[in-house]
Structure 1
Amino acid sequence: MGLSVKFNGYELNQYIDVLIGFTPFSGAEWSPELLGDAGLKRGADFSYTTYKQKQIPMPYTVLEDLGEKHDELARILNVDEPKELVFGNAPDRVFYAVPMGDLDFDDYECLGEGVITWLVPDGLAHSTVEKTFPASLNADGILEATIVNRGTESVPVSYEIVHKHENGYLGIVSQYGVMQYGCVEETDWENYKQNEKLVRLSDLSALPDDPGTNYMHPNHVMGGSLVTETIGGKPCLRLRSTGAVSAGKWIGAMKTLTVPADSEGHAGAKNFYCYLNHWFETGLMGQTAEQSIAFLTGDNKVICGYSLFKSDMTGNTACLEFWLNGKIVRSISFAPSSSDNANPFNNGRGHNDIRKEGDKVTFYWFGNYPSYRSSAIRNMECKKIQVAFTQFDSRGLGNKYVTRNYLRSLEFQKMGVEKWRDVPNRYQEGDVVSIDGEAARVYVNGMANTGDEMIGTKYFHVPPGETKVQFYYSSFCNPAPVVTARIKEAFL
């Protein structure tokens, strides 16, 4: 068995043998720049130096079945962008490369020889091993991590910050830049309008089924029943039975919850926030199902809501609808598969939320927060929440029903209750803030949260050697968050 060479997931030594003596450790292609018009009589002034792309020529031989192996190799190398390239003599590093030129292939009956020249546009090998650096309090009582980069190039840093107490501010500081999130001035006690959690999924699950009118979909028939089961370690609300078949209609079951009064005794929320988590994932083509959530006034007008359904009876296309003032304002098609790229409601994710502030409702879709306005809803108060699950006509709950159609979380908060008490700060105990240094994005509990980023934040890289990074947080945050910095080294 010759040297292992994996490109884009394919093992090339099934087709070729890399010649002895080959090494991927070629040096950088340095490109110094001089100032030729500096007015010097001799020599030139140095301006700067950098490195360009890297080329790695790899000589190889092919034994027997030359034509077949040559064609298979050509198929594998036919890519339209750099792909992962890993050599067996450096398995802890990956290049992002494309082949260049021809294969310089010579055919000697049962023996073939050639050269694949790999072009590495960024000129670097990237470590496949992530190094972690936990932060701890230094002699001055400042939370600090020492990042040791044993590579040969500067690399981005990612962070995980797990909160052990409420917190309103995060600062990340090094000699190379400053990153800030939240609000430095946020306090723990003040006279303010607070949010109050009034409803959880367990409150909804405890209610009897409602066979009445589904106000988002009045033509749907609610004659069945819902049940809450623990699936994958989480309580999930799902459809247990659809009830009697009604030809040409969606049939199923529903629960209607009356929003309880806040701590001041007022029932109804003019401004509110609701976090949801759905699992909506098919197991076969052509499956159908629906789940919806509607936020209603006391007289049953639909203020806003989501309708998540699949009516495609042959393929695998589902739809998410945004509802505002009883109307659909946007429909988004997606594939309800297990793929993270296609389906935000698969088993590993499912995050969703909705926020009403006066006449504006903000929805969520794949890390973005589209907003819509309607003057008609400005003073509408949410007094009821309806959650419904249905199947079409007589298709039943067998193989024609979406395999995973569950609601895994519902947390409803009323916004703006005037109180003098402990402020529910931006980051709560247990919240996890994740910062992706390469993508320059921040996430809170798995959801994109660009609104927390303060102006002037710089997502800095750390060079080879040791770099101290310090972490700051609100003075009332005690104990301190648990912080871990992470890097993947890069090599010339």
Structure 2
Amino acid sequence: MTLTVNFAGNELTKHMRIIDVKRNLGAGIDIVSQKRAGNGEDFISSRKDSSKIVVDFRTFDDITAARRLLAALTSSETLAELSFSDEPNVRYRAIRDGEITLTENKSKLFSDGTITFKIPSGAAESVTSNVLNATNSGGENGTITPNKTNGSIEIKVNNKGTLPTFPKIKLTNVSENGYFGIVGVKGLIGLGNINEADGVTNPMSEQLYDSASDTSFSDFKDVATGTPNPQNKWLATNGKLEFQTDGLRLKDKGTVGSNQGVAGGMKVMTLPADSNGHVGAVNFYSYFNIFAWAGAFGQTGLLQVLFTDANNKLVAGYGVSKGDMVGNKASMKCWVGG
């Protein structure tokens, strides 16, 4: 395998053949200590020093051309990216240290030389990054644990590198929120105003139920025996409504009680809470496809969609009513509070 070296966006090995690369095992460590009155020393502190990478090479060009070309390609006055093909996931932030040494071959067809790169941080940097999210939580990258009591989220990140590092955190609101607070082992950061600076809650439209995901209307359940019709107690509710082909139809009209005059059935569904956990929107709209067809003049019927409160008291509703027992007249009706 041919080793390639890139520095500051230039592939140096297009102009030289690598003889040896000395990368050592990490940076050196400087130790500060103080001599004791007796034997030995007391340790005070330590720090990692910068490191160097030494590249020994042989040029393809004559010494004059090699000197000018390699000097130009490595003359960055600021830290630049240094990489080696045998470490595809590692980069060094480096700068050339000193001159490039060249030893001229007697034939002048090539020269041997050495380039020394200094890495001030003393460490390599990983090119790739690991992502921790809800999908892989609990795996080798760490865990994300929501606290349902106070709404906070605890995140534990497994740093698989050899040095401390800083995570990049992406925050996404699932509802209107004016504040983020991030607390770490060594500090914290707050973004926004915890008291919601603008003082305004923006309403958002949400869909609470759609039969497209409930094509058989299985979310609608039979009412308990004896449950009155919330719009009119004169309407019996002990019949049976069942899904047939494309919607709910009357399968069994049931019977009427002593104080009732029209038999029929009724199903009920409890609307789910919105994204804030609130049940019962102040403003809402409802679309139902109601198909009414009298088989002959004089037939009667009633189809209703009603919305009630937690105590089964009517809030509002609408429907198609046909009370004409002679002709074929029907009407669309709305009920509010009865």
Greater C-alpha radius of gyration: 2
| 1:213-255 deviation digits (Å, cap 9, x = unpaired) | xxxxxxxxxxxxxxxxxxxxxxxxxxxxxxxxxxxxxxxxxxx
TM-score by length of structure 1 reads 0.37
| 1:326-364 deviation digits (Å, cap 9, x = unpaired) | xxxxxxxxxxxxxxxxxxxxxxxxxxxxxxxxxxxxxxx
- 1:423 counterpart residue number: 201
Match of 1:138 among 135, 140, 145: 145
Q: Size of the alignment, in residue pairs?
A: 196
- 2:52 counterpart residue number: 55
Deviation of residue 79 (structure 1)? 1.3
| 1:275-324 deviation digits (Å, cap 9, x = unpaired) | xxxxxxxxxxxxxxxxxxxxxxxxxxxxxxxxxxxxxxxxxxxxxxxxxx
Please show how residues 129-208 of structure 1 align to structure 2 within 5 Å: 129-134=128-133, 138=145, 140-141=147-148, 142-186=152-196
Deviation of residue 29 (structure 1)? 1.1
Which sections of structure 1, spanning at least 5 residues, go unmatched?
188-192, 195-421, 430-475, 480-492
Match of 2:99 among 87, 91, 102: 102
Q: For the structure 1 residues 5 and 33, does the alpha-carbon distance in structure 2 shift closer, same or farther, using more than 3 Å as the test?
A: same
Q: For the structure 1 residues 125 and 477, does the alpha-carbon distance in structure 2 shift closer, same or farther, using more than 3 Å as the test?
A: farther
| 1:34-88 deviation digits (Å, cap 9, x = unpaired) | 023xx52111110011111111111111134332232111101111111010111
Q: For the structure 1 residues 17 and 185, does the alpha-carbon distance in structure 2 shift closer, same or farther, using more than 3 Å as the test?
A: same
Please show how residues 402-413 of structure 1 align to structure 2 within 5 Å: none
Decide which moves more: 52-61 or 5-14.
52-61
Asked whether the equivalents of residues 59 and 116 of structure 1 are also in contact (C-alpha less than 8 Å), the reply is yes
- 2:125 counterpart residue number: 126
C-alpha separation between the residues in 1 aligned to 2:275 and 2:169?
18
| 1:399-420 deviation digits (Å, cap 9, x = unpaired) | xxxxxxxxxxxxxxxxxxxxxx
Asked whether the equivalents of residues 133 and 146 of structure 1 are also in contact (C-alpha less than 8 Å), the reply is no
Matched letter for residue 76 of structure 2: V
| 1:418-454 deviation digits (Å, cap 9, x = unpaired) | xxxx5249xx99xxxxxxxxxxxxxxxxxxxxxxxxx
Deviation of residue 15 (structure 1)? 0.8
Asked whether the equivalents of residues 26 and 123 of structure 2 are also in contact (C-alpha less than 8 Å), the reply is no
Deviation of residue 178 (structure 1)? 1.4
C-alpha separation between the residues in 1 aligned to 2:40 and 2:60?
54
Higher relative contact order (CA 8 A, sep 6+): 1
| 1:143-167 deviation digits (Å, cap 9, x = unpaired) | 2333121111111222111222100
Asked whether the equivalents of residues 54 and 121 of structure 1 are also in contact (C-alpha less than 8 Å), the reply is yes
- 1:46 counterpart residue number: 43
Q: For the structure 1 residues 139 and 131, does the alpha-carbon distance in structure 2 shift closer, same or farther, using more than 3 Å as the test?
A: closer
Asked whether the equivalents of residues 24 and 87 of structure 1 are also in contact (C-alpha less than 8 Å), the reply is no
- 2:30 counterpart residue number: 31
- 1:93 counterpart residue number: 90
Identity value in percent: 23
- 2:76 counterpart residue number: 79
Asked whether the equivalents of residues 90 and 125 of structure 2 are also in contact (C-alpha less than 8 Å), the reply is yes
C-alpha separation between the residues in 1 aligned to 2:68 and 2:58?
14
Asked whether the equivalents of residues 169 and 183 of structure 1 are also in contact (C-alpha less than 8 Å), the reply is yes
Deviating above 4 A after TM superposition, structure 1's stretches of 4 or more consecutive aligned residues are 476-479
- 1:16 counterpart residue number: 16
TM-score by length of structure 2 reads 0.52
Deviation of residue 116 (structure 1)? 0.7
Q: For the structure 1 residues 70 and 2, does the alpha-carbon distance in structure 2 shift closer, same or farther, using more than 3 Å as the test?
A: farther
Asked whether the equivalents of residues 166 and 477 of structure 1 are also in contact (C-alpha less than 8 Å), the reply is no
Deviation of residue 110 (structure 1)? 1.8
Decide which moves more: 141-150 or 8-17.
141-150
C-alpha separation between the residues in 1 aligned to 2:127 and 2:79?
16
C-alpha separation between the residues in 2 aligned to 1:139 and 1:9?
44
Deviation of residue 101 (structure 1)? 1.7
C-alpha separation between the residues in 2 aligned to 1:25 and 1:134?
36
Structure with greater strand percent: 1
Matched letter for residue 79 of structure 1: S
Please show how residues 201-350 of structure 1 align to structure 2 within 5 Å: none
C-alpha separation between the residues in 2 aligned to 1:27 and 1:74?
27
| 1:455-488 deviation digits (Å, cap 9, x = unpaired) | xxxxxxxxxxxxxxxxxxxxx9959xxxxxxxxx
Name the Cα RMSD after superposition. Answer: 2.8
C-alpha separation between the residues in 2 aligned to 1:33 and 1:53?
16
Q: For the structure 1 residues 82 and 139, does the alpha-carbon distance in structure 2 shift closer, same or farther, using more than 3 Å as the test?
A: closer
Q: For the structure 1 residues 104 and 118, does the alpha-carbon distance in structure 2 shift closer, same or farther, using more than 3 Å as the test?
A: same
Q: For the structure 1 residues 47 and 423, does the alpha-carbon distance in structure 2 shift closer, same or farther, using more than 3 Å as the test?
A: same
